[in-house]
Structure 1
Amino acid sequence: MNIAVRTIALLAALQLGACSANGSLEPAGEADSSFSVVEASFADMQAAMADGRTSSREIVAQYLARIEKYEPQLHATLAVNGDALAEAEQLDRERAAGNLRGPLHGIPIALKDNIHTTDMPTTGGALAFKDYTPPYEATLVSKLREAGAVIIAKTTLTELANWVATGMPNSYNAVRGYGYNPYDPRPDPRDGFDDGRAVLDTGGSSSGIGTAANLWAANVGTETSGSIEIPANNTLLAAIKPTVGRISRHGIIPITADQDTAGSMAKYVADAATLLAAMESVDQHDPATGICPPPADGSYSSNLRPGALEGARIGIPRAYYYQPVVPPGETEPVGGLSPREHAAMTRALAVLRQQGAVIVDPANIPSVVNPVAADNQLLFQNCFDLANSKGQDANCSVILKYGMKRDFNLWLDSLGDSAPLASLTALREFNQAHHEQNAIRYGQAQLDISDEMDVTADRGRWRADRDKDIRLSRTEGIDAVLEAHRLDALLLPSWKGENILNKAGYPAVVVPFTTVGNTLQPPLPAGFDPQPMPFGVSFIGTACSEPRLIELAYAFEQATRARRPPTQFP
């Protein structure tokens, strides 16, 4: 089979270059250009290509050289597109002929490795899918190619988007092992944690590693419960987790269609907005699409307004998200911020006020402070692990474990005869048979509790839990507080609102802001000197409010300009 792909095995064996169409090694080399891709925005690259200071081929070559140099330390990739240079050359020819596809023309973008491509494997990080290339590409990939993006690589991820085992470290998968945060790319030295995992958490199951270290211009992640927001926060990136249905999920390995979405991760809000706009579509393969109107003229450029915070009403949900609370019937407080996180948010609020925003504080979410236990959002979390298996799941939502059984099997069906496995049950059996090959180093409790669900018999339970999730997250949750105080958005510390936000299926825009201490329990050994954890803020809103959230986030970003590259990867 003629597959022009460099897999991670080739990275280790050959050092990275590019693979030609016949599979031979072509060293990428250094680009002959004074233009540097390090910290360059999409606009920077477009301007440099427009005036002849660089080309798409030269930009791709620079990124390939950086992957070759830094991949052994970061473990950021699962595959690299061996045709990336050739694709860039074709886009350069189109540019020379006056055919510009838009702001992504010639820009290298990486994809989380649960997103289908037909020129690179899509593994989800699972041994059962190692080297598997699906028979069709994801709708969002087709949209990106149409927009002129060069799909340069597949990023590492937490295996199967972190629905395997609750003890699995972020950015670990059986195919690549552990990924490392470029702001402190060392393994954890503590006893009991010294299995190779990163000492500075990389965040959720998407990876911001390569974008933060300038291995590509931006990347596409996916989120079911925090997996865009958390890694963006932890690697000092901007990101947009959109309304469920704004981007087609066709061709993405699922957890649950109730909450899954792809989204954009970039160094700057403008780039994240450009990437989002390019991926949007109405797709017959995904009935959720079409829920939101597309941006005017297909672009969010009109929403990039530095003065957008003037007069904006921003709510501060103090209870739980800023200050600890004791849920009804409980005795111990939950939530709140560390002293350094609290100080950071105090500074963030000062920026908003300086920019003319109206701060409504407190603007607590009704379902979070509801004194009735059955109606309190904090007391109805997702079912996780064996402690929430059948018969022990009365007080948690089955949405994720039910959805994984339903939608993973539907995804396998979509692969036709090429599917490596027939069902979720077959995946669990494969993992058990390959335990000695590290297929399930941390077990597979989440797969186990999913597979025990009966898609037909348990549908009533799923429907009841889905209705409750919607009520507590939307009607009595985010929508209730926005309407009560006439708010444009809520401001959340880092990724703290991800649970209620994802149950609602609502959007968020993450903006880099500062750093806080990387405090671990048990503590790190004396003399280790941990580097600080990046810490951002999130603007969240109701369904389809991305245009307004982008305005607010962009204005905050321009007022703070907090993005800093990791110093170890110049």
Structure 2
Amino acid sequence: MGKKSIAAMTAALVAGSLLTGVPHAGAQAAERGPDASPQPAGTAGVPGVDLDTVTIPELQARMADGSLTSSTLTKAYLRRIETVDPKIHSVLRTSPNALRAAAASDARHRRGKVLGPLDGIPVLLKDNVNTRDMPTTAGSLALAGNPPDTDAVLVTRLRKAGAVILGKTNLSEWANFRSAKPTSGWSAVGGQTNNPYVLDRNPCGSSSGSAAALAASLAQVAIGTETDGSIVCPAGMNGVVGHKPSLGLVSPSGVVPISAEQDTAGPMARNVIDTALTLEVLSDHQGSRGDAARSGGPKALPGPRSRPGASSHQDPAAGQVAGRMAGQAATGLRGKRIGLWRLPSLGPDVDAVMTRTATKLRKAGAVVVEVTPPYQARLAELEFPALLSEFHRDINAYLGTRKGPRNLAELIEFNRTHPEEQTCFAGQELFEKARAAPPTTDPGYKAMRAELKNLSSRSLDETLAAHHLDAIAAPTNPPAWTTDCARGDNDVIPSSTPAAVAGYPSLSVPAGSVNELPVGLLLMAGNHQDTELLSLGAAVEHRLKAWRAPRYLPTIGSGAAR
């Protein structure tokens, strides 16, 4: 991850955010523009706090001075879930222990024994992340019975950091790895998640509920998972921030898998600073090193160091960099070199957003050059067959830890005999292809995965080196298409593939919109350059200022936007 640690980077970002601040609630409402709708009726939040725009450092500052409690914050988010979520269907369930965890955090704050920056902060989890006190279903009725016996490693880390686990979010069933024509955001357990900006449009998948819930301000942060695009596409399409970490940085233990060679959980939030602070908690070099070694992934990096009784905004490192960080937002792009991969296949409206983005970055002092990373056709040809073999191996191993179907064959039979699993789409072609795929011990499979790793790494490394780039940028997503179970998704989005297959980090930040529909800017960097990427993302976010609150419109226009 380079010379700087995640902890040092987040301390610097926190210092900058506290020094520069954000506008008060009235100013924030003005920034939304004359067309922005007010908060949905019945969602009174926290006095003096705009849940749409408040950051974790600001919340921690309030909790430190006694003007806010975690209990008050948690209750406000629970009220929003109750009143707003019926529009978008993003939250499957809330935790019975959330208010108890908030009260414990309040007691620590009173004693001055804060566990870190996430102490008392409400977090939603994608429902393929194991929780011992709530069901973990991957959206499937096959797993809707008893909860897992233990938490996922990342959940253990969140609990130890004092985070309030608020509940579980809906997802594309089996992380969109069941049908050849899936509908993102749909699961048999949770039904269809809607895009908060335009309700008949799709939220993208598979971390659909996590992204939509954040757009609707139903939690401060959320956890998504990605094999290829499943964090960054929902983040882009719902106008929030999503970070896919370097492979191995976050432990995959206890997360329903597709492929150990590509899977990672990652943080999602409404701003980069909250995303970075959450990654600081999730990253675990000891647990991740073992997981990465097992999967053949890269070694993980040293995780953050915290000291009891000190939240991140009180860290001495923040004071050491405060002067430099005060001006970071204005100067953070000066001299940076960014390669723009336009992807015209996503349409002229998206390309126009990229043109406007490039202009803003250049005005901020960045050098933007046009690039086309090589080997993309070959990556597209090889990735899917490799994932089929890996899914068969990894889902069998996971199902062996749960009650219900014990392997892929039994899971296929479950879907055949349960009509509720076929209410949006009936197909399970990917399951059937995975069952028939060569095992991961097959020499042909091994050669395929080796070529994938080689070409995906070279695709990014060669492009970064040839143009002396700090990062590669591309559109994260097209405008959201109309949700249609009969047609399925319209989601051939190639920008996420190089970093996903290589195991390199990627970060989506809001870039603009086409009509009412958000478009994200996907930033990609070299292996384990998460720190540098998040720092760059914070500067890009500040320059673009593209976030805006959703208006929950019933529909706009017609057809599947492209």
TM-score strictly above 0.5 = yes
Partner Cα separation in structure 2 for residue 291 and residue 438 of structure 1: 41
Match of 2:411 among 427, 439, 446: 427
Q: 1:313 to 1:379 in 2, by over 3 A?
A: same
**Deviation for aligned residue 1:224:** 0.4
CA contact (8 A) 2:379 2:452 kept: no
Alpha-carbon contact 1:509-1:539 (below 8 Å) kept? yes
Deviations 1:79-132 (CA, angstroms, capped at 9, x unpaired):
210111111001100110110111111000000000001111100000101133
Deviations 1:44-73 (A, max 9, x none): 211222222221000000011111112222
* Cα contact 2:153–2:254 (8 A) shared by 1: yes
Matches within 5 A, 1:409-448: 409-413=396-400, 415=401, 418-435=402-419, 438=422, 441-448=425-432
Q: What is residue 446 of structure 2 aligned with on the other side?
A: 463
Distance 1:480 1:290, change over 3 A: closer
Say which of 239, 254, 257 aligns to 1:254: 257
The match for 1:166 is: 180
Q: Alignment partner for residue 549 of structure 1, among 533, 539, 552?
A: 533
Residue in 1 that maps onto 2:243: 240
CA distance in 2, matches of 1:256, 1:313: 33
Report the Cα offset of residue 461 of structure 1.
Answer: 2.1
How far does residue 440 in structure 1 lie from its aligned partner after superposition?
7.7
Counterparts of 1:17-36 in structure 2, within 5 Å, are 33-36=47-50
d(CA) in 1 for partners of 2:114 and 2:224?
Answer: 26
Shift of 1:459: 2.3
Determine the structure 1 residue equivalent to 2:509: 511
CA distance 1:364–1:437, shift in 2 (3 Å): closer
Q: Is the 8 A contact 2:257 2:391 kept in 1?
A: yes
> What is the percentage of aligned positions where both structures have the same residue?
34
Among 390, 393, 396, the residue aligned to 1:406? 393
Question: Residue type of the partner of 1:461?
Answer: G
CA distance in 2, matches of 1:296, 1:220: 18
**CA displacement at 1:379 relative to structure 2:** 5.6
1:500 aligns with 2:498: yes
Deviates more, 1:246-255 or 1:130-139: 130-139
Letter of the structure 2 residue corresponding to residue 322 of structure 1 = L
Tell me the C-alpha RMSD between the 2 structures: 2.4
Work out the CA distance in 1 between the residues paired with 2:505 and 2:290.
22
- In structure 2, the partner of 1:201 is 202
Q: How far apart in 1 are the matches of 2:465 and 2:223?
A: 32
Q: 1:322 aligns with which of 314, 328, 343?
A: 343
1:180 lines up with 2:180 in the alignment: no
Q: Alpha-carbon deviation of 1:429?
A: 0.8
How do residues 202-241 of structure 1 correspond to structure 2 at under 5 angstroms? 202-207=203-208, 208-241=211-244
SS at match of 1:286: helix
Task: Provide the C-alpha distance between the structure 2 equivalents of 1:112 and 1:33, rounded to a whole number of angstroms.
Answer: 29
1:18 is matched with which residue? none
Match for residue 151 of structure 1?
Answer: 165
* CA gap 1:132/1:454 in 2 versus in 1, 3 angstroms: farther
Structure 1 residue matching 2:109: 3-state secondary structure: helix
In the other structure, the counterpart of 1:478 is 460
Distance 2:274 2:514 in 1: 25
What do the CA deviations read for 1:168-221 (whole angstroms, capped 9, x no partner)? 211100111111111012xxxxxxxxxxxxx31201200211111011111000
Is residue 366 of structure 1 aligned with residue 374 of structure 2?
Answer: yes
Worse overlay, 302-311 or 49-58: 302-311
Structure 2 counterpart of 1:313, one-letter code: R
Contact 2:46 2:73 in 1 (8 A): no
Counterpart CA distance in 2 for 1:88 and 1:563 is 29
What runs of 5+ residues in structure 1 fail to find an aligned partner? 1-27, 186-198, 324-335, 369-375, 384-397, 518-531
- Higher relative contact order by CA 8 Å / sep ≥ 6: 1 or 2? 2
Q: Which amino acid aligns with 2:228?
A: S
Equivalent in 263, 269, 279 of residue 282 of structure 2: 279
Q: Distance in 2 between matches of 1:543 and 1:29?
A: 42
Given the alignment of the two structures, is residue 88 of structure 1 paired with residue 102 of structure 2, yes or no?
A: yes
Task: Name the structure with the higher helix share.
Answer: 2
Partner of 2:9: none
CA distance in 2, matches of 1:339, 1:93: 54
Q: Any stretches of 5+ residues in structure 2 without a counterpart?
A: 1-41, 307-311, 478-493, 554-562
- Are the structure 2 counterparts of residues 505 and 29 from structure 1 closer, same or farther at C-alpha, using a change threshold of 3 Å? closer
Question: Structure 1 segments of 4 or more deviating over 6 A?
Answer: 28-32, 298-304
Give the CA deviation at 1:297: 4.7
SS in 2 for 1:202: coil
Q: Distance in 2 between matches of 1:474 and 1:422?
A: 35
Where does residue 363 of structure 2 map in the other structure? 354
Displacement after TM superposition at 1:568 (Å): 3.9
- Contact 1:432 1:439 (8 Å CA) reproduced: no
Residues 1:139 and 2:147 aligned together: no
CA drift at 1:34: 4.7
State the shift of 1:437 in Å.
5.7
Aligned length: 473
The Cα of 1:511 is off from its aligned counterpart by 0.8
Amino acid at match of 1:426: E
Q: Which of 119, 133, 137 is residue 123 of structure 1 equivalent to?
A: 137
The answer on 1:537 being equivalent to 2:533 is no
- Larger Rg over CA atoms: 1
- 1:33, 1:53 within 8 Å by CA — same for their partners in 2? no
In structure 2, the CA distance between the partners of 1:365 and 1:437, relative to structure 1 (3 Å rule), is closer
Match of 1:565 in 2: 549
SS in structure 2 of the partner of residue 47 of structure 1? helix
1:219-278 deviations in Å (ceiling 9; x for gaps): 000000100010000010011111111100000000000110001110000111111111
Scaled by the length of structure 2, what TM-score is found?
0.80
